Structure 1
Amino acid sequence: MITQQEDRELVRCRRLIEEKVGWGRSDNWSTQDFERLGEQIADQTGVSLSVTTLKRVWGRVRYNSAPTATTLNALVKFIGYTNWPHFKGVTQTGEMISEPADVVSVAVSEPASPVRSSGRSRWWIGAGLLVGVTTVWLFFLNYSPPEPLSPNDFSFSSRPVTKGIPNSVVFHYNAMASPTDSVFIQQSWDPSRRQLVPKNGHDYTSIYYYPGYFRAKLVVGRQVMQEHNLMIPSDGWHVAVIHEPVPVYFQPNEVIRNGVLSLSVAAIEKHNIAMQPHPPIVRYRYVRELDGLRADNFTLETRLKNDFKQGSSACQNMVVTILCKNEMFSIPLSAKGCVANLNLYLAGHFANAKSTDLSAFGADLSQWVDLRCDVRNKHVRLFVGGKKAYEAVAPNSVKDIVGISYDFEGTGSVDYVRFSRPNGMTVFEDNFNSSEIDSAH
């Protein structure tokens, strides 16, 4: 169990991290925010903390045990401390340390209360301070930072072993030039998918449970030495209930009926998945090359609804994600009373409901709702129920669109989806009239 003193220090640690990332109050952070935090911590410290671990630290998931030493050390390293004992010591003295964790620092503290001292005592104190300062000066005078590693000294490639999902990928790598044993292969941007591999090894096989477009990385210490794109396409619509460590999959004949893509509550419960007290997340995802459809000029039209509004699912949260090559558009919807928790992301443009009016993304989601995304020369206009809800410029570089993903809290339905070019030409369309995909080029 964590002590009251350590609990106070953990509260302060969380606050400093929140101030560093600048995403507003953590009470309103989404799962994607915790994923981004995990990625930043891994990039800076070399330690991967899963989304579940971070949610436990922030009290978003119940957990009676104290965080591990590895977790605590990674958190405080992220904000510039050497380790958890160092952070606690600084907390107790009220001193702030701003140097990076790998820089040697010397703290000189005065006695807690005035003490009479003789001239000889003062002489010894002065001599000690002089020696300490001289030692530090000599350290920095003789210190030379290590030579930066060259990506040219490393190699990294991959090969999927099959089609469809799940899919194993064999990574081939050469990290013999690494000065450390801290060599990792990371599946994607998600640091929880980072695995320590032998420095002298050459092959590592990893499994992908969801289709998507990924940026695989070879990481040495804290530095990404090599990375490349990796696309895992879906075989039609991929339907799953998100579950760790392995999702629960469903077949097309279970979800595509009568012109609707829909996973029923009965089908979910048949797999022993509880709907309460915490409803599952149902994901519908379609991934493949869409005939060069570009993210700076396109139109998405879709109709959807949420099919579960019980207990803790009163907000009926859902997110529609337009998948691009190393980029995305993430569009949230919720019940009208829950819009304060929404976050919107449009290829580099981020909006949080705490500081931006996102009330137009609230709707009666027990009924069909039309969603439209129009992008012309990076200018994005979003429409919910036929009314303009938001507009902004998507600042990031142009990418190809490779699919779409629907995430429903509880479960939900999709009536149709259509991608088209600005000239009206349909690139992809599915009305779910059968288990086959209707597509036009």
Structure 2
Amino acid sequence: MITQQEDRELIRCRRLIEEKVGWGRSDSWATQDFERLSERIAEQTGVSLSVTTLKRVWGRVKYESAPTATTLTTLVQFVGYENWPHFKRLSQPEPTAKESASDIADPLTSEPVRSEHRSTLKRWWLGAGLLVGLAGVSVFFLNYVKRAPLSPEDFSFSSQYVTNSIPNSVVFHYDATASPTDSVFIQQSWDPRRRQAVPKNGHEHTSIYYHPGYFRAKLVVGDQIIREHDLLIPSDGWHVAIMQEPVPVYVMPNEVIRNGVLSLPVATIQQHNIPMQPQPPTVRYRYVREFKNLRDDNFTLKTRLKSDVKQGSSVCQNVTITILCKNEIFSIPLSAKGCIGNLQLYLAGHSAEAKTMDLSAFGTDLSKWTDLRCDVRNGHAQLFVDGKKAYETRIPTATQDIIGISYDFEGTGSVDFVRFLQPDGTVAFEDKFDSSTKNTSHFLPAKIKTE
């Protein structure tokens, strides 16, 4: 169990983190906020704390045991402390009460010290204090030298993907010879699990990306992110995958685009030796590319979809429609009416979850075709399900380019059409799945930014 003193220190730690991220009162945080916090902590410290662990620390999940030493140290490192003991030591208040000579006690016996021994005791404590002080200064100096920030100007980092299809290999070119340590890494994205060690004196490293999307690749030395750049991996049309780690099961688009519908049949999934029960697979349809003048503060998305499985553990028919932007997303959930209690909505920095807000309008009979519309005008977003307003809010983040759309179906599902419109009604992208020409927007080759 955690002590009262440690609880006070943990409260202070949480307050410092809340002040650093600036997301308002933590009691109003949704799951997506804890996901974002997990990402930021991983980016800064190199340690990944799960959403469940963070919720336990913030008292959102009941848990009787105290957080582990690793968890506590990671949290305080995020706000600038060396480790948990360092944080606790600096949290201790300075003594204010004056000690009289009669109160001085022998540190070993706790018995009062006679006056003839007080001078000797004071000299002993003075010498011990001097040694401790010198040791502390040495540790601080060595730690400062070790943690002195490195200059990005002494390093280089760039990349180039080798094809327009998925999977896609990306060749990273780097120069980390200025590193004072052999701990040099290339990280594919924000996720520290996608971090790979590379030779300090090397200059090339190749990584495989199994999904299209927009990533922020990083060159890491020790625990410092030295350089990073944006990386767009296009899908070359529709990317269809049955999700699993580390390599998904890919399905060719010509197997799923037929008769004006994008749909992966259950029979095709089973032909890949993937069972539908007891744990249904997640089927993903994703389209990623550069669009012309399509921004997330002014656009309209219209789409029609349905779930094709409603049995066993797929009874909730969960579907997530994700609008992909550069360094941001819109994540819109749908489910059967009786399952809306687990829904989580995220709109480019704004989050809501059904446990604390009414998201019942996102519950519908997904066995039938369902129309979804997302209207954003000057940063004000409105969501409509089958023509009825389901939600509205303001988008709190800076404007980003839209680079794609993704559908995640529990089990599998179908998409009838997808259409992105600019504010004046001009079609920026459209696919009715009825011909080999799938869109009306102009293709812009993906650019690889370098630093």
Query: Into which bin does the TM-score normalised by the smaller protein fall?
Result: 0.7 to 0.9
Q: Which residue of structure 2 aligns with residue 89 of structure 1?
A: none
**Residue identity opposite 1:46 in structure 2:** G
Secondary structure at 1:215 match in 2: strand
- Work out whether 1:259 is the aligned partner of 2:260: yes
Secondary structure at 2:313 match in 1: helix
Aligned-residue offset at 1:118: 6.0
Q: Which residue of structure 1 aligns with residue 251 of structure 2?
A: 250
Q: Which residue of structure 2 aligns with residue 100 of structure 1?
A: 82
Aligned-residue offset at 1:251: 0.8
Q: Which residue of structure 2 aligns with residue 40 of structure 1?
A: 40
Aligned-residue offset at 1:193: 1.1
Any residues of structure 2 matched to 1:33-432 within 5 Å, and which? 36=36, 38-47=38-47, 74-80=70-76, 99-101=81-83, 104=86, 117=111, 119=113, 133-141=129-137, 143-144=140-141, 145-146=144-145, 147-432=148-433
* TM-score in terms of structure 2 length: 0.77
**Contact map agreement 2:13 2:76 (CA 8 A) in 1:** no
**Contact map agreement 1:42 1:222 (CA 8 A) in 2:** no
**Contact map agreement 2:41 2:75 (CA 8 A) in 1:** no
**Contact map agreement 1:379 1:392 (CA 8 A) in 2:** yes
Distance 1:24 1:340, change over 3 A: farther
**Residue identity opposite 1:238 in structure 2:** H
- 2-structure distance, mates of 1:383, 1:325: 24
Aligned-residue offset at 1:375: 0.8
- 1-structure distance, mates of 2:203, 2:393: 45
Cα RMSD, aligned residues only: 3.8
**Contact map agreement 2:314 2:411 (CA 8 A) in 1:** yes
Unaligned runs of 5+ residues in structure 2 are: 3-9, 19-24, 57-66, 93-107, 443-451
- 1-structure distance, mates of 2:71, 2:47: 9
* TM-score in terms of structure 1 length: 0.78
Aligned-residue offset at 1:129: 6.0
**Contact map agreement 2:46 2:192 (CA 8 A) in 1:** no
Deviations along 1:233-254, whole A, 9 cap, x unmatched? 1111000011101000001122
**Contact map agreement 2:327 2:400 (CA 8 A) in 1:** yes
Secondary structure at 2:76 match in 1: coil
Aligned-residue offset at 1:130: 5.3
**Residue identity opposite 1:101 in structure 2:** N
**Contact map agreement 1:41 1:75 (CA 8 A) in 2:** no
Distance 1:301 1:17, change over 3 A: farther
- 1-structure distance, mates of 2:422, 2:278: 43
Secondary structure at 1:119 match in 2: coil
- 2-structure distance, mates of 1:239, 1:75: 37
Distance 1:133 1:344, change over 3 A: farther
Aligned-residue offset at 1:151: 1.3
Distance 1:418 1:128, change over 3 A: farther
Distance 1:135 1:45, change over 3 A: farther
**Deviation larger for 382-391 or 118-127:** 118-127
Deviations along 1:29-49, whole A, 9 cap, x unmatched? 57x955x46533422432457
Distance 1:123 1:330, change over 3 A: farther
Secondary structure at 2:134 match in 1: helix
Q: Which residue of structure 2 aligns with residue 87 of structure 1?
A: none
Secondary structure at 1:240 match in 2: strand
Deviations along 1:410-430, whole A, 9 cap, x unmatched? 111111100011111111111
Aligned-residue offset at 1:123: 9.3
**Contact map agreement 2:72 2:84 (CA 8 A) in 1:** no
Aligned-residue offset at 1:154: 1.2
**Residue identity opposite 2:371 in structure 1:** D
- 1-structure distance, mates of 2:295, 2:13: 36
Q: Which residue of structure 2 aligns with residue 91 of structure 1?
A: none
Unaligned runs of 5+ residues in structure 1 are: 7-13, 60-70, 82-97, 109-113
Q: Share of identical aligned residues, percent?
A: 59
Largest Rg, 1 or 2: 2
